[in-house]
Amino acid sequence: MTGAASTQTFRTAIVPAAGLGTRFLPATKAVPKELLPVVDTPGIELVATEAAESGAERLVIVTSPGKESVVNYFRPAPELESALERKGKTALLEKIRRGPALLDVEVAIQKEALGLGHAVAQAEPNLTDADEAVAVLLPDDLVLPSGVLSRMSAVRAEYGGSVLCAFDIPKEQISPYGVFDVTDTADPDVKQVHGMVEKPAPEDAPSTFAAAGRYLLDRAIFDALRRITPGSGGELQLTDAVALLIKEGHPVHIVVHHGDRHDLGNPGGFLRAAVDFALDDPEYGPALRTWLTDRIEKP
C-alpha cells in the first residue's frame, strides 16, 4: 500500500447526479435514475464504492431540488437496523450499513440542469485548501474492474495536471463518443492529450481513444469553468473547460483502461449491466442463466 499512498493525489470525489434523466422517463418522474438497482444495489453505491477504493475520503454528490433521496441513501437507517437486528437478518444488516460506511458524503445543489460542467462547478464551495485536485465520477458510467482512478492518480503524480480515462474502441464504433487527439508517452497506456473531438465520423476521428466518465482534475478546472461559455445544447460542458486548460498549456493525459464498461444512463445499457451482474450473483445467477437460455431459443 505504500506505493498507492505515495501517489494519492486527491481525497475528494465529485459525483454529478443532478441531471433530468429523461431517457429513463417515466420512471424518473418519481425515482432518480442513480437509485435504480443493478440487481439490488443502486448505481450510485457502485460508483461510491469505486471512489472509496481509489482512496477518496469524501464524496460530494451534486444533486437537484427534489432528488435529495440520492444523498439520503447514504445516511444510516437506525430504525430499519433495529428491526433487522431483532429478526437476526445479519446479511441484510450488512448490506444496508455498507453505503453509509464507505466515505463521508456531502451534498451540493445544482438548482437547474445547466450541464455537466455547471454541475461540477457547484461542488467548489465544498472543497478545502487541501484539495489540489478532485476526482469526478459519472454515476451513469460503470468502469470495471475498479482501479483506474488509482492509475490516473499515479499519472498525475508523475506529469502533474489533469488525467482522464479512455477506452480503446474499434474505429468503426467510435462515432457516439468524445475522441482524444493524443501523442504517445513511454507507457503504452498513457497518452498526452492535445484536443478532443465530440462524436466524430470514423474517418475524422483523431484516434481510437474514447472518453469514459472518470476524471482527475486539477483545481484549475474551477477557474476554467468560470471562463467558458455555454456550448452544445446551451449547456456548460466539462470538456470545454478541459479544452481551455489544454490550450493554456496545462498538461492533460489519458489512461487507457482495459476492462468493461456499462452505460447505466439508458434502459438498454442499464438492462445489460443488470443481467451481467445478476449472472454472477450466487443467489440469482444460475436460475437466470437457465431462463435466459430458454427464452432466447423461443421464437
Pick from 12, 13, 21, 241: which binds ligand UTP (CB under 6 A)?
21
Q: Rounded CA gap, 120 and 17, in Å?
A: 10
What is the DSSP-derived secondary structure letter of residue 36?
S
Segment interacting with ligand UTP (CB under 6 A) among 106-114, 153-161, 218-226, 272-280: 106-114
Which residues partner with 203 through β-bridges?
none
Q: Rounded CA gap, 86 and 77, in Å?
A: 14
Q: How far is the CB of 28 from ligand UTP (least distance, A)?
A: 8
**Residue 290 binds ligand UTP (CB under 6 A):** no
Q: How far is the CB of 79 from ligand UTP (least distance, A)?
A: 30
**Residue 23 binds ligand UTP (CB under 6 A):** yes
Q: How far is the CB of 196 from ligand UTP (least distance, A)?
A: 16
**Residue 27 binds ligand UTP (CB under 6 A):** no
Pick from 6, 22, 232, 290: which binds ligand UTP (CB under 6 A)?
22
**Residue 265 binds ligand UTP (CB under 6 A):** yes
Pick from 140, 178, 179, 193: which binds ligand UTP (CB under 6 A)?
140
Instruction: Judge contact between 152 and 163, C-beta under 8 A.
Output: yes
Cell digits of residue 8: 494519492
Pick from 13, 16, 43, 178: which binds ligand UTP (CB under 6 A)?
16
Cell digits of residue 196: 478532443
**Residue 17 binds ligand UTP (CB under 6 A):** yes
For residue 114, CA distances in Å to 41, 106, 122, 154, 245 come to 28, 21, 11, 32, 21
Q: How far is the CB of 250 from ligand UTP (least distance, A)?
A: 23
Pick from 44, 60, 105, 119: which binds ligand UTP (CB under 6 A)?
119
- How many residues bind ligand UTP, per CB under 6 A? 20
| DSSP H helices in the chain | 2-6, 43-53, 69-72, 78-86, 90-102, 116-121, 148-159, 220-227, 238-247, 267-279, 285-297
Instruction: Judge contact between 12 and 131, C-beta under 8 A.
Output: yes
**Residue 244 binds ligand UTP (CB under 6 A):** no
**Residue 123 binds ligand UTP (CB under 6 A):** no
**Residue 97 binds ligand UTP (CB under 6 A):** no
Residue appearing with cell numbers 484516434? 207
Instruction: Judge contact between 211 and 177, C-beta under 8 A.
Output: yes
Q: Rounded CA gap, 271 and 263, in Å?
A: 9
Q: How far is the CB of 279 from ligand UTP (least distance, A)?
A: 26
Residue type, 16: P
Neighbours of 65 (CB within 10 A): 10
Pick from 42, 115, 161, 178: which binds ligand UTP (CB under 6 A)?
115
Q: Which residues contact ligand UTP by CB under 6 A?
A: 16-23, 62, 110, 113-116, 118-119, 138-140, 265
